[in-house]
């Protein structure tokens, strides 16, 4: 099933702080074999992994040597290009490692590292400058949801994140309710659709209908093989950002192959 032929679904695995570079090599090799063995059509459903920074060179070498049809990216990027920023990683370095994507504004960075909407916007601009596709995460806490209702906070976060984005930009948006991340309690497909539709409205408002139509909006938060198909049936959900379940090869492969294992 591909509800929206203009948008190729994307299943993205956010490893967070898991798997060192040696584990990453074994993992990516097995994942690619597993999906190839199963006859996965990578052009029909794109697969991307987001390892820790220290794994990226190994993943790049493997993907390029074995011509694996997997995309990969980083979990964060500096807003700066170079200079006295101890501990930061430049988008230029990520581009050199052939990263296609970079996650920006994940809720763990917003909460644990106090990243502001302004910093998120600056990072989005930096990613685009280096031809990296920013995977912009937005999402509300349980308290936000109770106080502001659905979509208010994600909509405001997306507007802020797009401050420096032009309508020529290639971006991906991920709606990840904070209360659903790692909790085992996913949003309902209807909740995900409601917010994804509102986010598409923001894209149309700020970047134009054309960009809104072609930009992929992912859902993230306790995605598993058992619930992915229901999310993918929603017209505004174009994929998933998967955390915990992306570390289990059979489970992640099954999520990637949602079109095959569940009746749609």
**Active site residues per annotation:** 106, 176
Task: Check binding of 244 to ligand PGA (CB under 6 A).
Answer: yes
> Which position among 164, 182, 201, 226 is part of the footprint of ligand PGA (CB under 6 A)?
182
> Which position among 158, 161, 242, 256 is part of the footprint of ligand PGA (CB under 6 A)?
242
Q: For residue 190, give the nearest of 212, 152, 219 by alpha carbon.
A: 219
Residue 238 main-chain phi, psi, to 5 deg: -110, 15
Please report how close the Cβ of residue 108 comes to ligand PGA at its closest, in angstroms: 7
64-68: which pairs have CB atoms within 8 A and are 24 or more residues apart? 64/98, 66/29, 66/32, 68/28, 68/32
Task: Check binding of 76 to ligand PGA (CB under 6 A).
Answer: no
3 to 32, contacts with ligand PGA by CB under 6 A? 14
Q: Which is nearer to ligand PGA, 211 or 223 (CB)?
A: 223
As a whole number of Å, the CA-based R_g of the chain is 17
d(C-alpha 199, C-alpha 196), whole Å: 5
d(C-alpha 115, C-alpha 120), whole Å: 7
- Please check if 18 is assigned to a binding site: no
CA atoms within a 13 Å half-sphere pointing along the CA-CB vector of 56: 24
> Which position among 243, 254, 257, 258 is part of the footprint of ligand PGA (CB under 6 A)?
243
- Of 79-87, 114-122, 227-235, 241-249, the segment contacting ligand PGA by CB under 6 A is 241-249
Please report how close the Cβ of residue 191 comes to ligand PGA at its closest, in angstroms: 14
Interaction mask 214-233, ligand PGA, x per CB under 6 A = ------xxxx----------
Q: Which is nearer to ligand PGA, 48 or 245 (CB)?
A: 245
226-230: which pairs have CB atoms within 8 A and are 24 or more residues apart? 227/186, 227/189, 228/11, 228/255, 228/258, 228/262, 229/258, 229/259, 229/261, 229/262, 229/264, 230/189
- Please check if 13 is assigned to a binding site: no
Annotated binding residues for substrate, written as ranges, equal 14-16, 182, 222, 243-244
Binding site for ligand PGA (CB under 6 A): 14, 176, 181-182, 220-223, 241-245
């Amino acid at each position: 099933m591909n509800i929206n032929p203009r948008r190729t679904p994307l299943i993205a695995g956010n490893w967070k702080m898991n798997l060192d570079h040696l584990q990453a090599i074994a993992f990516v090799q097995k994942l690619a074999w597993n999906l190839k063995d199963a006859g996965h059509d990578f052009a029909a459903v794109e697969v991307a992994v987001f390892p820790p920074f220290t794994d990226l060179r190994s993943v790049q070498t493997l993907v390029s040597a074995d011509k694996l049809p997997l995309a990969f990216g980083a979990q964060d990027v500096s807003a700066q290009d170079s200079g006295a920023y101890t501990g930061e990683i430049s988008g230029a370095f990520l581009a050199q490692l052939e990263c296609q994507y970079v996650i920006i504004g994940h809720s763990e960075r917003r909460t644990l590292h106090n990243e502001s909407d302004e910093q998120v916007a600056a990072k989005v601009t930096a990613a685009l400058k280096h031809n990296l596709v920013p995977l912009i995460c937005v999402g509300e806490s349980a308290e936000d949801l109770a106080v502001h209702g659905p979509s208010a906070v994600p909509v405001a976060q997306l507007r802020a994140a797009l401050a420096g984005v032009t309508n020529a930009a290639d971006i991906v948006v991920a709606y990840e309710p904070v209360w659903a991340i790692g909790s085992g309690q996913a949003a309902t497909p209807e909740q995900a659709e409601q917010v994804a539709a509102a986010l598409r409205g923001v894209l149309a408002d700020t970047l134009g209908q054309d960009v809104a139509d072609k930009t992929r909006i992912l859902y993230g938060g306790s995605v598993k093989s058992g619930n992915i198909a229901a999310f993918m049936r929603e017209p505004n959900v174009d994929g998933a950002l998967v955390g915990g379940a992306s570390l289990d090869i059979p489970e992640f492969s099954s999520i990637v192959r949602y079109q095959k294992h569940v009746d749609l």
